[in-house]
Structure 1
Amino acid sequence: MKTIINKFKFCTLILLVAFSCTEIGDDPAFDTSASERSSEAVTEIKATLTEPTEGWIFEYYPHDLQIYGGYNYILSFDDNNMVDVYSERQADFSIPETSSYDILSIGGPVLTFDTYNSVMHEFSTPSAAEYQAKGGDHEFILSHTDVEDVLNARGTVSDNNLKLIKLTESPQSYLTKVKEIVDYLDGAVYIMSTDGEITQIPVSNRNITFPGEDLEEDTVVAFIYTDTGIKLYETTTINGNEVTEFTLDKDANQLISLDGSTVLDIVFPPLNTSQNWIINVIGAGEVSDTFFNTFVNIYNNNGAIYGETLSTDIEFGNTITPTGIQFYSSGYYAEYNVTFPLLFSNPELLSIARKGAGFNWQWYGHLDPLITLIVDNEPYEVEGTPADDPTVVKLTSTVDPDVWFTIRK
């Protein structure tokens, strides 16, 4: 028995020695070690990134829920681990911001922007108000796709599946085309017709909502502007058709899916409510007496309840959680969410509808009388100055002409 045990120990020792002589991660199916293969993958992906003369279009979506939508970045890599970064969010995208990058081997090639770049790190830089920033990434796991000149880039924080697309024109040329699309569609309302039924398609913060079929819930999907239209974050089923991208047809004023199955008619409402507007209650000739008196009542009630001073400037339109009407009271914001549905019978009028309590509204419900005044007296005639791109707009109720107020950008 002792001999058998000793033989067993000897065999076990031989196996352990043999295992220890083999590098962890080695696979007999490969001619090279795991570390060598990782190094080769890093070298190969760097060669891919640095090959294009003009760089790459990076379709970037921050936050794991894509609540900010998508934005176009142009990344131009060189062999010395430096990258030029352009963004459609730059006031002047003719000049890039340059910083360093690296490619790490962490279960695959990982692209990291390892020195601060205010353009590239805009959504991933924390602040006192946003300690987790805006859920953006600065490191991305890269992999090839089945499509030539397209790479996958998965955010290590958001886990969003993003795309790098080889650019074939200058960064300035591409971003200029994107800006033209953005500017053209700014404030637009989208209409979809299904079996003779017209439906408004809500858009907010580069997220678009398609109606669910039968009893299914509506589908909200982020999108990005392209040089020809818009592209959805992921393929979405609309009326039984799988749709990923729309092309803008300016002549027809339509966004048309690539397969032609889905058409969104473009309508421009009388007011661009995606912009930030201000109601100055105490400005001379800014509001009607009825509006002013209602405000005075909520101002006094707010002071009696909290001892706070309610600001006489009220935000209207694109506020904290678009869209809504927002108040400011001694350091605290409170918002009531409203929508601006297109009035099909008379699209020249501005319609306003309640959506529900917004940010901090549970503490400031006593401000509701002004919301009631505004909503209950819709729709409004819109008189803008100047007419082509107004910065001052007077809204006058068609229900009660004594209810009117002015908004300013």
Structure 2
Amino acid sequence: MKKYVIKIAALSFALVGLVSCTNIEDNDIYDKNQIQRFEETKAKLKSELVSAEHGWIVDFFPENSALGAYSLLFEFNEDGTVETRSDVTDGKYDVVKEEYDFVMLSTLALSFPVQTTVHNITAKYGSRIKTDIEFLYDETKENEILFKGHFTRNQIVFRKATAEDKQFDLTMKHRNLDLVSAKRNMVITSGEDMEVFNFRYTKNTRYAKVSNSAGNSINGNGGIGIGGSNEGIIISPAIEFPDGSSISELIFENGVFKGESGNNSVIIM
């Protein structure tokens, strides 16, 4: 599968001071300054965002130490507007016309001005929740654009939406979120080792506290964010194993949610 990567050379900033005192006229790398490179990369990213026929679908974890994932559908326009649908407001999935922009932070970032959907998550939960409103551009792959949250550094995946995605039918996603709320245990198996954790999911925040019988948390955050998928759930942070593998997707089958990677597994039951 062909892979396309667009990156800004962060090293260029460190070299700016050297350009004026070095003979680099014959080196094409320095033909354009960082502003020109920023503008060119911005134009390419904008073109990618605008050209998607059905827009982009995103499972957005705004703050996975306190919240789970929300479903977002973005359709970007050339004029700097974006048509957004989301389940941030329960039961209301209308198209909202908003704005987007690009800013230069540690790298090129997709930015959403105030009073847009991503800001409304903070409004919903209060100032104690700090969500990402700038998405740092990482790379472009076939049918995906990868970002990182400026605040959380969580990965944010924009996937090209299909005609079915554009219908924004969240019935199965929300059904699986309802099903997971009845579960009480998480079983993690790594090779021959198995450990059982208490699992307590809160529907309002889509977040689950996970700890063992000794009260030790599954990770430094105390739990995991939960998002719905059509087949089951997604979790963040992913469960990582000593062999370097990880599990972030669990399928609902036979009354349990289960994810597997080699000899490792995660079951919520």
**What SS does the aligned partner of 2:115 have?**
coil
Runs of 4+ in structure 1 displaced over 6 angstroms? 20-23, 195-198
Aligned to 2:10: none
Q: Which position in structure 2 is the counterpart of 1:209?
A: 210
Alignment of structure 1 residues 5-404 onto 2, 5 Å: 19=20, 28-63=28-63, 66-117=65-116, 119-125=117-123, 130=126, 132-144=127-139, 147-168=141-162, 169-192=164-187, 199-205=196-202, 206-207=207-208, 209=210, 218-219=218-219, 220-237=223-240, 242-249=246-253, 252-259=254-261, 261-264=264-267, 266=269
SS at the partner of 2:136? strand
Per the TM alignment, residue 254 of structure 1 is displaced from its structure 2 partner at its CA by 1.8
Q: TM (normalized to structure 1)? A: 0.49
Whole-Å separation in 2 of the counterparts to 1:196 and 1:19:
60
Check whether the contact 2:183–2:268 (CA below 8 A) recurs between aligned residues. no
**Superimposed CA distance per residue, residues 59-113 of structure 1 (whole angstroms, 9 cap, x where no aligned partner):** 22233x6211222222221111111222223334441221111122344321111
The answer as to whether partners of 2:197 and 2:210 remain within 8 angstroms in 1 is no
Residues 90/248 of structure 1: CA separation in 2 closer, same or farther (3 Å cut): same
Query: Cα distance, 1:191 vs. partner?
Result: 4.9
CA contact (8 A) 2:197 2:212 kept: no
- Mapped to 1, the partners of 2:268 and 2:139 lie a distance apart of 36
Q: Which digits, 9 at most, give the CA deviation of each residue in 1:146-196, with x for residues without a partner?
A: x53222222223333322222222344453331222233333333538679
The alpha-carbon deviation at position 30 of structure 1 amounts to 4.2
Higher relative contact order (CA 8 A, sep 6+): 2
Cα displacement (A) at 1:234? 3.4
Report deviation, 1:211: 5.0
One-letter amino acid of the structure 1 residue matched with residue 150 of structure 2: T
Once the two structures are superposed, residues 292-313 of structure 1 have per-residue CA deviations (whole angstroms, 9 ceiling, x without a partner) of xxxxxxxxxxxxxxxxxxxxxx
Name 2:13's counterpart in structure 1. Answer: none
**Quick one: distance in 2 between partners of 1:74 and 1:58?**
6
- In structure 2, what residue type is equivalent to 1:32? K
Contact kept, 8 Å, 1:126 with 1:134, in 2: the verdict is no
Q: Deviations over 1:198-242 (max 9, x none)?
A: 835413342352659xxx863333332222212222332358663
Aligned length in residues: 237
How much does 1:246 deviate?
Answer: 0.9
Structure-2 residue corresponding to 1:402: none
Identity %: 17
Q: Using a 3 Å threshold, how does the CA distance of structure 1 residues 115 and 245 change in structure 2: closer, same or farther?
A: same
Residues 102 and 109, structure 2, Cα contact 8 Å, conserved in 1: yes
Deviation per CA, 1:46-70, whole angstroms, max 9, x where unpaired? 111112222222222233x621122
**Structure exhibiting the larger radius of gyration computed from Cα positions:** 1
TM-score normalised over the length of structure 2? 0.72
Structure 2 unaligned spans of 5+: 1-16
